[in-house]
Amino acid sequence: MSVVIPSIKDDVLTLESVPEDVPVSVEREGSLNEARNRGIENAETDIVAVLDDDIAFSEELFYALVDEVDEDVLLGVADWEFGLVAGRVMIFYKSLWRDIDGFNERLHSHNGDTDFSLRAHNAGYSVKTVPRHLFYHEDHERSITTWDRAWRLMYLCGKHVRYAPYILSATIAYNLGLEAGISKEQNLPASIRHAVDELEPE
């Protein structure tokens, strides 16, 4: 397997956690989704992990998650709103990426993971998630405006009509949950629970 990390940073935190024997490509050109696609296209392995540049994790957890992936599975950390896979950690076979025509480059740097997950599910693949807290993540502000979020929501609903009611209801539930101080997390599959080595920020 190999790892793709889109990043424009000089210091890429994620590199410190990737096992030494795993090939890594840090993609620095183009938008986020363009970088993802280029890295995957150039990968010479069947399995690819697409990772954000600001996370940390144990080697044991990394390999446990890889072992959960087969040709019919998209696996990764749960996103914030839809219960789909977030771009922070996505692991899949390159054949899946090829089958659904890669990441949507029109979406540039936001919601490409949501669109990718919906297309994978619609094509018959299984979308499996694990909790975000298993990976340490450096906090930073999200650079997206309310108008941009609204445009992307309308775009996703228009493109994925079958899923539009779910997308809208999940968005409303998520935002109401934020107002009420409630967060939604996914459960870790029992088959990899034994391998979890949670990382806490120092």
Question: What confidence tens digit (pLDDT) does each residue in 104-137 have?
Answer: 999 988 899 999 999 999 999 999 999 988 999 9
- What domain range is 58 assigned to? 2-193
> Model confidence at 179, in pLDDT bands (50, 70, 90)?
low
Residues near 133 by beta carbon (within 8 Å), at least 6 away in sequence: 185, 198
43 within some domain: yes
Share of the chain above pLDDT 90, in %: 70
Q: What is the pLDDT of residues 35-54, one digit of tens each?
A: 999 999 999 999 999 999 99
Q: What is the pLDDT of residues 52-84, one digit of tens each?
A: 999 999 999 999 999 999 999 999 999 988 889
CA atoms of 81 and 85, how far apart (whole Å): 10
88 within some domain: yes
Say if residue 185's pLDDT is above 60: no
CA atoms of 194 and 188, how far apart (whole Å): 10
Looking up residue 185, the CATH number of its domain turns out to be 3.90.550.10
What average pLDDT score do residues 174-200 get?
51
What is the per-residue DSSP string for 33-62?
HHHHHHHHHH--SSEEEEE-SSEE--HHHH
> Model confidence at 142, in pLDDT bands (50, 70, 90)?
low
145 within some domain: yes
12 within some domain: yes
202 within some domain: no
User: How many separate domains does the chain show?
Assistant: 1
| DSSP H or E run through 4 | strand 2-6
Q: What is the pLDDT of residue 119?
A: 96
Q: What is the pLDDT of residue 196?
A: 39
